[in-house]
Structure 1
Amino acid sequence: MTDKAMFMLKLSQLFKAIIVVLFLPLMSCNDKDKSNHAEKQFEIISDVKPNIIFYLSDDQDVYDYGCYGNKKVNTTAVDRLAKEGMLFTNAFTAQAICAPSRSQIFTGLYPLKNGCFANHTATKPDIKSVTEQMKELGYEVVLAGKSHVKPDSVYKWDKEWAPVPKKDVPREYIPLDSIEDYFKTAKKPFCMFITSKYPHGKYFDVENPNATDLKFYPFNSHKKSDKAYVKSKAGYYRSIEEDNTQLENILKLVDNYLDKNTLFIYSADHGVSGKFTVKDIGLKVPFVVRWPNVIKAGSTSNQLIHYTDVLPTFLDVAGGKATHDLDGKSIVPLFKGKDDEINRYVYGVRTNQNILNSEIFPSRMIRDKRFKYIRNFNSIEVVEKNLTGKPNVDFFLRRGSEKFKNEPFEELYDLEKDPFEQQNLAHNTELKVVKERLVRDLFTWMGEQGDFLKEELGSMPIITPKGNKGFKLDQDTPRRKIPDSLKNTLEKGDYTVIEYW
């Protein structure tokens, strides 16, 4: 062999050795190596701030989606997102009512802490909401559709487009043209909330509806032969279908104008069948997330997550960090395939004042993955201990407890065995330790939230805004009549005034 041939052989062997050293770890990588690779992939993607879109439907039960098990309703767009991303089976809001539910998404705080715990009320004026938080990280923050939050000083949207009228449908539409124009021309990363008015009533008028076209559950199976209920439910299904059309149009715009580094979340603000309650049918929400190259398609998470986790998650995705005063936590680890516990508990709040059926019947809820505890503070079982001795005030306290006379002081449910909360186990001695733990931790949380309700009975506040505007328990509403002798009898000293409302 010539010297030149020998030199070329050695050079070839050296090159092969270098190849082995460089690539052998990749060829033999184990699951941990793959996980590390995914982490690095996420970090690389995160160098370019993703666009963030949160699509929020209005008043739709978590049980009324194909991807959540109801094949009788048309939700093909949400089902598509679930196939292309991650479906969450244990996502919650703390309040089954519009304004308080939305305020949690925008502030990262539970309703009692952010101040919006009755419908149509404002959050506290010193709250630093998503608009300010995301702007500091270089984002434009946009609201397209229904608002239902205030004050303007807290929610300073860079752009805001109201819903638009549309013929032959019962509700206004999301502003599709404005959204499309924005997608075409956006010059910086954005965080956009697209907030639909569907399927919230008024529903479509469906002629000759058939109960066999609807899916029933333990909480409504007794209404299969109720013609008015079936007609309303059929209209609700049709309104869901209309919202599905809106979402399909949005996804087409996303596909046409935005790149894959777009985080897209779909949810609905609360369940209509459990509205105003702290039952899961009201508080459990759909939550589906798509983020190509980060979230594994067709994946599922059973971890407890909450609307207060949305803002911390957005801050994390945008390269920031949630402050310690926020109630929520980032769920980005779940996006990346980890199965980390995010929340041991989620909590619920019920305030019946300032709605058309306004009554004094506040409730609080604590829930882990298996067990759920509810306390109804003005239950008929305990109302006598809440009375004040003032006949006009006590009338309304009794009226509230009698309105919900079938709801006991304490409720405890084993959600693994009883997901629709049909069997109250509050007096089951075998679960005494479980109940004591939940009661203790609920009141600890209430104290941290600055709740005006206490564990001890004997004080049942009647809340009202400053200036006593609204919250008029002693006046008629379209759904509630007050005896003439008691109209306008509640005085300023009878109320607990919320100064910032």
Structure 2
Amino acid sequence: MKIFSKISMFVFLAILFLSCNTSSTQKKNNDDQKPNIIFYLADDQDVYDYGCYGNEKVNTSAVDLLAEEGMRFTNAFTAQAICAPSRSQIFTGQYPLKNGCFANHTATKPDIKSVTEHMKSLGYEVVLAGKSHVKPNSVYQWDKEWEPVPKENVPREYIPLDSIENYFKTAKKPFCMFITSKYPHGKYFDVKNLNAEDLKFYPFNAHKKSDKAYVKSRAGYYRSIAEDNTQLENVLKFVDTHLDKNTLFIYSADHGVSGKFTVKDIGLRVPFVARWPEVIKAGSTSNQLIHYTDVLPTFLEVAGGKTTQDMDGKSMLPLLKGKDDEINTYVYGVRTNQNILNSEIFPSRMIRDKRFKYIRNFNSIEVVDKNLTGKPNVDFFIKRGAEKFKNEPFEELYDVENDPFEEKNLAQNPELQAVKEQMKQDLFVWMKAQGDILDDSVGNMPIITPKGKKGFKLDQDTPRRKIPDSLKDTLKKDDYIVIEHW
């Protein structure tokens, strides 16, 4: 009996030792592994419409929880308030002018290496789950790609939750996954029993508080935000159940819907929240300027690689680790206005630091006469674009630190002329480096068109704009700059 007891005790101690040793080895292996990276991207949601960014009337509890558990960025930007160009920056580390996708529905240049090639070379699987909106396939070669899935009684398709959870359960190597939601992008929910008091209004939309159609649309938008919150809650549950703490999770939204197609902060400033247990300090905030072009360089450094020279962005990993280093002195913005349903000739460029922001509207009504070509059919469209945005001046300068909604244009303020001139010159240097079709001269007003028949041509109707019959199909190939990789 004593012998049996001793044997039992020996077996128990051996099992305990092996268990502890295995646990210790497993923990060590996890520490040595490259982290999994997940980037969740919402679609068309203002940065102002989150609890953690100051809107107590909208349900974003999942994002708010991420902010409590990680880091919230207050100065995060995209360069273009439109779907495809915004996403192209995340995936390439390059601004839209350089990567080629600077008009909606256009393609990235075919010779560019994207996140798929870069991260694969570092041993990662690269996965897209949801909305794509980028092309060509030769640039974006996902290891796995799951399209949005139909769901009853909702206005938009859902992210592929089943595929995402199953992948988390079975992944055999480190992965970089982009979960790209179709929410809260319209079509919105049809909300009954509307009450404007249930919504939060800002300087840019306060005048619409009594507009019943706007309030109805806004209520549907809030409901769509709540639906995306449900999707995100599910994803976070999967992460916390199936993945270890060595997982970097980032949430953002591709641009603001209230400033879509503009270079205003209501379009270009984006929510950006990062959680990485044991790396990112919980409940922390960064006020440093970051940009979507910084995402891929950050992922490369996290994965053990390096940023390549052709990328515009810089790694923000020091910020995630708690340092308050300056990542960008400036961020930049682009407005095209062509190749959309409301297509007009009204391009703009923007440069911004933490305090000041300079905008040039190249086809402002102030300078439109200098942009005319002498060709009546071309000049009709140049004038039409200027008149469409006749209230937007040639130059804009804002103190965004004290005027966050850009209500007071300081471009003519004599005390700020030195600031304006410096930012203007720095903007032109950047534009030249980007290979911009615009330059610092007045009178250069290019019209762009796709190489083939795809895209919106200025001399044809779209569902939202009509062209006089006498001017339809009057623009010739040599009137345009043809975008070869469209």
SS at match of 1:120: coil
Partner of residue 48, structure 1: 33
Letter in 2 for 1:447: K
- CA distance in 1: counterparts of 2:136 and 2:257, whole angstroms: 26
CA contact (8 A) 1:468 1:492 kept: no
Cα distance per residue 1:151-188 (max 9 Å; x no partner): 00000000000000000000000000001111111000
Partner of residue 329, structure 2: 344
SS at match of 2:73: strand
- The alignment covers a number of residue pairs equal to 459
Is 1:181 matched with 2:166?
yes
Partner of residue 378, structure 1: 363
1:468 CA displacement: 4.8
Is 1:291 matched with 2:279?
no
Partner of residue 266, structure 2: 281
Is 1:272 matched with 2:240?
no
- CA distance in 1: counterparts of 2:245 and 2:37, whole angstroms: 11
CA contact (8 A) 2:100 2:108 kept: yes
Cα distance per residue 1:21-43 (max 9 Å; x no partner): xxxxxxxxxxxxxxxxxxxxxx9
Is 1:250 matched with 2:239?
no
Partner of residue 113, structure 1: 98
Partner of residue 180, structure 2: 195
- CA distance in 2: counterparts of 1:250 and 1:124, whole angstroms: 32
Cα distance per residue 1:92-113 (max 9 Å; x no partner): 0000000000000000000000
C-alpha RMSD of the superposition: 1.1
Q: Pick from 184, 189, 192: which aligns with 1:204?
A: 189
Is 1:79 matched with 2:64?
yes
- CA distance in 2: counterparts of 1:200 and 1:282, whole angstroms: 14
Partner of residue 212, structure 2: 227
* Paired residues for 1:467-482 under 5 Å: 467-482=452-467
**TM-score, normalising length: structure 2:** 0.94
CA contact (8 A) 1:143 1:194 kept: yes
- CA distance in 2: counterparts of 1:76 and 1:468, whole angstroms: 45
Gaps of 5+ in 2: 1-27
SS at match of 1:255: helix
Is 1:394 matched with 2:372?
no
Gaps of 5+ in 1: 1-42
1:205 CA displacement: 0.3
- CA distance in 2: counterparts of 1:308 and 1:346, whole angstroms: 10
Cα distance per residue 1:184-204 (max 9 Å; x no partner): 110000000000000000000
1:208 CA displacement: 2.2
Partner of residue 139, structure 1: 124
Q: Pick from 307, 313, 320: which aligns with 1:322?
A: 307
SS at match of 1:128: coil
User: How many percent identity over aligned positions?
Assistant: 84
- CA distance in 2: counterparts of 1:304 and 1:199, whole angstroms: 25
Letter in 1 for 2:192: E
CA contact (8 A) 2:341 2:456 kept: no
SS at match of 2:197: helix
- CA distance in 2: counterparts of 1:493 and 1:107, whole angstroms: 31
- CA distance in 2: counterparts of 1:300 and 1:50, whole angstroms: 22
CA contact (8 A) 1:46 1:319 kept: no
- CA distance in 1: counterparts of 2:52 and 2:351, whole angstroms: 27
Letter in 1 for 2:287: N
CA contact (8 A) 1:463 1:471 kept: no
1:417 CA displacement: 1.3
Classify 1:44/1:445 alpha carbon distance in 2 versus 1 (closer, same or farther; 3 Å). farther
Classify 1:179/1:384 alpha carbon distance in 2 versus 1 (closer, same or farther; 3 Å). same
SS at match of 1:56: strand
**TM-score, normalising length: structure 1:** 0.91
Q: Pick from 149, 170, 195: which aligns with 1:164?
A: 149
- CA distance in 2: counterparts of 1:46 and 1:233, whole angstroms: 46
- CA distance in 1: counterparts of 2:90 and 2:384, whole angstroms: 33
SS at match of 1:286: strand
1:46 CA displacement: 6.8
Cα distance per residue 1:383-428 (max 9 Å; x no partner): 0000000000000000000000000000000011100000000000
Q: Pick from 74, 86, 92: which aligns with 1:101?
A: 86
CA contact (8 A) 2:105 2:455 kept: no
Cα distance per residue 1:443-474 (max 9 Å; x no partner): 00001000010111112100011135323111
- CA distance in 2: counterparts of 1:125 and 1:269, whole angstroms: 23
